[in-house]
């Protein structure tokens, strides 16, 4: 597309139609890379259905960032709002700051959330992170609020910490808590070990700049299975560092 064509792209403000250049200046050569500079915290659906290329947002991003995304990379230097990577099926979203709720989640009424891909949140996240996610990996380096992994169907959710009801009604999948969390009474304690598959994840995440503890010398994981209220076959792995 030429820059003129891009400037003419439709943008909605509520129900009203506008041109993209009513809000943005457009420059640069044709490329599969887009850089958005400025405060985009009210701009929704950035990277929706994206299949390839790269979008860099220098600042904050609005709701539904990378929703339904299938490939490519989205990077946000600031914060992002709710529904980051909702129902995405591929690609990488990296938010350096905090994010809202429903990251990688299923939209209301839909059965499955994120189907594949990776979401990395450098800060904290809101409610219902990974709700009904089926596959893929979400890492929230800081803490997540209530109901992380709600009705989870699969995939891997790594949390720096979490508030209440983590893994509620989860059927499958793995929630890894890097700090002690409150465990629902409908989860059963199984054992303490160092799962080999986490070594594979640690190697993969290391390439993305995320350190996942996995060495037996550093500690081990407590495994809980549940949510037996469903009954589900998910697992909670809670890291406990080795104290010398």
Residue ranges in contact with other proteins by CB under 8 A: 116, 135, 137, 156, 172, 174, 191, 193, 195-197, 199-204, 214, 233, 235
CB of 76 to other proteins, least distance (A): 23
- Residue whose entry in the numeric block shows the structure tokens 């983590």: 166
- Residue whose entry in the numeric block shows the structure tokens 């697992």: 235
Pick the closer one to other proteins by CB: 81 or 220: 220
Pick the closer one to other proteins by CB: 63 or 119: 119
Pick the closer one to other proteins by CB: 196 or 243: 196
CB of 71 to other proteins, least distance (A): 12
- Please name the helix (run of DSSP H) or strand (run of DSSP E) that holds residue 202, with its range, or none: helix 196-206
CB of 34 to other proteins, least distance (A): 25
Residues 6+ apart with CB under 8 A from 1: 30
Pick the closer one to other proteins by CB: 180 or 199: 199
The set of long-range contacts for 62-66, using a CB threshold of 8 Å and a minimum separation of 24, is: 63/100, 65/93, 65/95, 66/91, 66/93, 66/119
Per the DSSP assignment, residues forming a β-bridge with 225 are: 188, 235
DSSP letter assigned to residue 5: H
Pick the closer one to other proteins by CB: 48 or 172: 172
Torsion region of 241: left, alpha or beta (phi above 0 gives left; psi -120 to 50 gives alpha): beta
For the chain, state the CA radius of gyration.
19
**Phi and psi dihedrals of 214, rounded to 5?**
-150, -10
DSSP letter assigned to residue 105: P
CB of 18 to other proteins, least distance (A): 40
As given in the structure block, the two tokens for residue 147 are 């109901």
CB of 201 to other proteins, least distance (A): 7
Pick the closer one to other proteins by CB: 6 or 202: 202
CB of 200 to other proteins, least distance (A): 5
């Amino acid at each position: 597309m030429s820059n003129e064509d891009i400037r003419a792209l439709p943008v909605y403000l509520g129900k009203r139609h506008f041109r993209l250049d009513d809000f943005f200046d457009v420059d640069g050569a044709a490329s599969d890379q887009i850089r958005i500079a400025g405060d985009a915290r009210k701009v929704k659906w950035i990277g929706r259905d994206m299949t390839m290329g790269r979008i860099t947002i220098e600042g904050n991003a609005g709701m539904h960032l990378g929703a339904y995304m299938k490939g490519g990379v989205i990077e946000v230097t600031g914060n992002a709002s709710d529904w980051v990577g909702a129902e995405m099926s591929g690609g990488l979203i990296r938010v350096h700051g905090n994010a809202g709720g429903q990251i990688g989640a299923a939209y209301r009424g839909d059965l499955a959330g994120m189907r594949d891909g990776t979401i990395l949140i450098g800060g904290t996240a809101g409610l219902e992170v990974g709700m009904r996610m089926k596959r893929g990996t979400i890492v929230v380096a800081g803490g997540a609020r209530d109901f992380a992994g709600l009705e989870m169907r699969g995939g891997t959710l790594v949390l720096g910490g979490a508030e209440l009801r983590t893994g509620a009604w989860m059927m499958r999948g793995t929630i890894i808590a890097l700090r002690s969390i409150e465990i629902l009474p409908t989860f059963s304690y199984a054992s303490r070990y160092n799962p080999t598959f986490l070594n594979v994840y640690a190697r993969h995440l290391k390439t993305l700049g995320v350190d996942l503890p996995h060495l037996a010398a550093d500690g081990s994981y407590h495994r809980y299975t549940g949510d037996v209220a469903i009954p589900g076959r998910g697992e909670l792995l809670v890291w406990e560092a080795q104290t010398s």
